[in-house]
Amino acid sequence: MMDPASLRAIALRQFRRSWVGQVGAILVVLFLIVTVLAPLLAPYDPIATDFANVLSPPTRTHPLGTDDIGRDILSRVIHGSRVSLQAGLFTVAVALTVGLPLGLLAGFRGGRVDDLIMRGIEVILSFPTLVLALGITAVLGPKLIHALFAIGIVFVPHFARLIRAQVLTVKENDFIAAAEALGASDVRVMRLHVLPNCLAPILVQSSFSIAFAILTEAALSFLGLGTQPPTPSWGIMLAMGRGYLEQAPWLGAFPGLAIFVTVLGFNLLGDGIRDALDPRLKT
């Protein structure tokens, strides 16, 4: 068996060779920089209105124009990235907090525990993602935190299934039998031997899930069920742009572009990592 350090080196080499992964990584790093430095990068306060300057097209002072109450679109797009990052991280955290123990338990214990957990997961998977997220948001009330919680719950089955499958593979290795023979407890075996072997697929799934969470948060906000005004969110900005499509098309163009580039970045990064870890899956 190859030692983990050389496996990592091979994966890293594969990743460096893939233009898909590299473009993804660059886009994601740019997104993170914008998010962290938002207050420094944004030229204006994202919620400050300027009624002398409403619906201004892109100019030197407002490079992406202004909206219907004179707010600077560039500043709102920059600050909107924070809502998107929050959406991605929070939902993946919810999905992992619930999905990781469920997947580990189902895969490690097997038998009735596995059956029970897998049936539960099948039930959640019986709902189209957005329908379930909308249903939960409808009952809890339209707030960003409710929308994010709903999206996180919808992701749980994907993580739990993935981790279970990984555990089932890892469980067959001799080193697990050896650890058990040495008297290691289930928790210790899972924590020290099973979990580290699940990290790579979790990373791939997380990248795709963050992309999907950003899209879903924007969709729910676009429908008026996610982030509420005046907080700058790309989905809300697009919804506003819809009303001024003929008069001021830039209102919707830039937040849409921001969603697209960010989602593309996380999807490409996920593709790149997946291909590097298992070149057989390359499509």
Partner 1 sequence: MIQFVARRLLATVPLLFFVSVVVFSFVHVLPGDPAILFLGEEATPETLAQFRARLGFDRPLSTQYLEWLGRAVRGDLGRSLRTNQPVTEAILQRLPVTLELLGAALAVSLAIAIPAGIVSAVKRNSGVDLASTVFALVGFSLPNFWLGLILIYVFALLLRWLPPSGFVPLPAVADNAKSLILPALTLGTALAALVTRQLRSGMLEVLRQDYVRTAQAKGLSQGVVVGKHALKNALIAVVTVVGLQIGGLLGNTIITESLFALPGVGRLMIDAVFSRDFFIVQGVVLFLAVGYVLSNLIVDVLYSYLDPRIRLG
Under the binding rule (CB under 8 A), the answer on residue 127 touching partner 1 is yes
Quick one: which segment of 94-102, 110-118, 139-147, 173-181 binds partner 1 (CB under 8 A)?
139-147
Question: Is 66 among the residues that bind partner 1 (CB under 8 A)?
Answer: no
Q: How far apart are the C-alpha atoms of 156 and 67, rounded to whole Å?
A: 37
Rule CB under 8 A: is residue 11 a binding residue for partner 1? no
Give the C-alpha separation, 98 to 273, whole Å: 24
Among 15, 31, 90, 222, binds partner 1 (CB under 8 A): 222
From the list 225, 273, 276, 277, which residue makes contact with partner 1 (rule: CB under 8 A)? Answer: 225
Among 168, 223, 230, 278, indicate the residue that binds partner 1 (CB under 8 A).
Answer: 223
Under the binding rule (CB under 8 A), the answer on residue 229 touching partner 1 is: no
The three-point CA angle 48-235-243 to 5° equals 75
**Positive/negative CA dihedral, 263, 266, 267, 268:** positive
7 binds partner 1 (CB under 8 A): no
Q: Is residue 159 a contact point for partner 1 (CB under 8 A)? A: no
- Applying CB under 8 A, what is the total number of residues that bind partner 1? 46
Q: Is residue 172 involved in binding partner 1 (CB under 8 A)? A: no
User: Which listed residue (15, 162, 267, 277) binds partner 1 by CB under 8 A?
Assistant: 267
Binding of residue 160 to partner 1 (CB under 8 A): no
- Output Rg (C-alpha) for the chain, integer angstroms: 22
Distances (CA, A) of 201 to 35, 94, 168, 263, 274: 26, 17, 14, 19, 8
* Cα–chain center distance at 108: 27
Q: In one letter, which amino acid is 261?
A: V
Q: Which residue stretch of 33-41, 107-115, 169-177, 241-249 sits at the interface with partner 1 (rule: CB under 8 A)?
A: 241-249
Residue of 128, 196, 229, 279 interacting with partner 1 (CB under 8 A): 128
CB of 173 to partner 1, least distance (A): 25
State the Cα–Cα distance between residues 191 and 281, nearest whole angstrom.
27
Question: Which residues are at the interface with partner 1 (CB under 8 A)?
Answer: 20, 119-120, 122-124, 126-132, 134-141, 211, 215, 218-219, 222-225, 238, 241-242, 245-246, 249, 252, 256-257, 259-260, 263-264, 267-268, 271, 283
